């Protein structure tokens, strides 16, 4: 039996925030986590539990106070900022609750943006952006700006943008948190479809039990501590 590849790993990950010189607010208290290639993982927990902090660590958007982070086996804990930026650009896609689209750009231009940063030629990036918009069902909205689209449509653009550089890992922070129930279900099914068809690894921070129900594994974070939970425990 082939051993599964670990694409994301943390060892004794600690993150403290400091108020003034002496008061320490521990956000993560020594988290050990392994996420395997092609998994769809949900991280659940109450507000203030450390979910977004953990996701920011996994996405190399913030540095840990202690412990290690590995991406595809590479210890990234002490890399320089420019090295971290390159890994984020090539290996990691991000989906946010409030979409974070550029309001002055069209859907097509928003999806192109990561490819511009990666130095992809104009011809190639336009073709890929069009293909991605078609994949998320928005080919007819390529030249619409975010203000001309619904929340669900904007989130689909954000998903297409997250996939622009063909990342092996997509991190999503409350991707359905700003959507109605029907649209949330559509977005969940779209993420799962991409996960199954492309083999993209998804780590989703969520309050939404529907998202958790669709995950391969569920972790609960509380007071900066992480544990894997069985499906039937969710919501208890």
Tell me whether residue 27 is in a domain: yes
Tell me whether residue 1 is in a domain: no
Tell me whether residue 2 is in a domain: no
Tell me whether residue 124 is in a domain: yes
Q: Shortest CA distance to 12 belongs to which of 228, 226, 201, 202?
A: 226
Per-residue confidence band for 233, with pLDDT thresholds at 50, 70 and 90: low
Tell me whether residue 87 is in a domain: yes
Q: What is the pTM of this model?
A: 0.92
- How many domains does the chain contain in total? 1
Tell me whether residue 3 is in a domain: no
pLDDT tens digits for range 146-182? 999 999 999 999 999 999 999 999 999 999 988 999 9
Dihedral of alpha carbons 152, 153, 158, 160, sign: positive
pLDDT tens digits for range 60-102? 999 999 999 999 999 998 899 999 999 999 999 999 888 899 9
Query: What CATH number is associated with residue 137?
Result: 3.40.50.300
Tell me whether residue 205 is in a domain: yes
- The CA distances from residue 185 to 2, 144, 146, 209, 234, in Å, are 34, 24, 21, 11, 18
Full domain range(s) for residue 180: 8-233
Tell me whether residue 73 is in a domain: yes
């Amino acid at each position: 039996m082939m051993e599964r590849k670990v694409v994301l790993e943390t060892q004794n990950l600690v993150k403290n925030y400091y108020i003034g010189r002496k008061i320490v607010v521990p956000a993560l208290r020594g988290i050990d986590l392994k996420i395997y290639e092609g998994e769809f993982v949900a991280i659940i927990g109450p507000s203030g539990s450390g979910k977004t902090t953990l996701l920011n660590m996994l996405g190399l958007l913030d540095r840990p106070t202690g412990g290690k982070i590995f991406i595809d086996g590479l210890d990234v804990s002490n890399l320089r900022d420019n090295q971290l930026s390159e890994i984020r650009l090539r290996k990691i896609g991000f989906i946010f609750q409030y979409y974070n689209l550029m309001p002055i750009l069209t859907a097509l231009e928003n999806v192109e943006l990561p490819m511009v940063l990666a130095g992809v030629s104009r011809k190639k990036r336009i073709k890929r952006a069009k293909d991605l918009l078609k994949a998320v069902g928005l080919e007819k909205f390529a030249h619409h700006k975010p203000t001309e689209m619904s929340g669900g449509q904007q989130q689909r653009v954000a998903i297409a943008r997250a996939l622009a550089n063909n990342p092996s890992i997509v991190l999503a922070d409350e991707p359905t948190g700003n959507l109605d129930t029907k649209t949330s279900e559509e977005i969940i099914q779209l993420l799962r479809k991409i996960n199954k068809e492309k083999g993209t690894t998804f780590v989703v921070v969520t309050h939404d039990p529907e998202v958790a129900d669709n995950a391969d594994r569920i972790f609960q974070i509380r007071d900066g501590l992480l544990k894997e939970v069985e499906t039937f425990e969710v919501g208890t």
